[in-house]
Every structure is written in C-alpha cells, then in structure tokens.
Amino acid sequence: MTSEALTGQDVARTLLDVLDIDIKVEVLAKEDRLKPVDGKAVWNENAYAVGVREFAKQIRTGQLATSVRDDVAFVTGKPPMTLRQWSEKYRQRLLDHTNA
C-alpha cells in the first residue's frame, strides 16, 4: 500500500467501484468516537482510541510532519500501490471473503 489520505467514504467508493458490492460507511460524530464499543468498555479500547485521536491531531497540526513518510518501498522492496491498485490486484480474494 501507499500513503494515501482517504476518508471512510473514499475507501467505500473505491471498493464499490472495484468490487461492485454495497459498502456501508458509518461516520461517527466527534463526540461518539471515544464511546465504548457495544456498550462494553474495555480499558485498551479507550486507550487505543485516545492514542489514535492524539496521533491524528499531531499529523493535522504538523507536529509529525517530518516523521510521516512513505517507507513502503524501503520495507517491502516493492513500489507502493494505491488502495484502488491494491483492491484491483486482490479483487477476487476480497470477494471470496464477502457475503456477496
């Protein structure tokens, strides 16, 4: 994969285009993002959510601007792919794991 900035709607739209199946996207309001899942609070879920929120804030404010880079080729030895390229490459495998 590559470093793409995609919203949930962007991901759903890409997968819908490639897989031709319905994709449901549920966008949570800001205040709902840290609520427990299924009403069952687990200590690490909240800690993870707080960490992700802080990470996103630091990227948005530029605090991590010098540390965010595309290391895909370095780590994998292969050029990066966009989500569309990846989903096209693994289309059948993805479809095999759906209820479609």
Locate all alpha helices (DSSP H) within 1-100, ordered by sequence: 8-19, 43-61, 72-76, 83-89, 91-96
**Domain definitions of the chain by residue range:** 8-96
Q: What is the pLDDT along the chain (100 residues), one digit of tens a residue?
A: 566 778 888 989 999 999 998 888 887 777 776 665 555 655 566 777 788 888 888 877 777 666 556 678 888 888 889 999 999 999 999 999 887 5
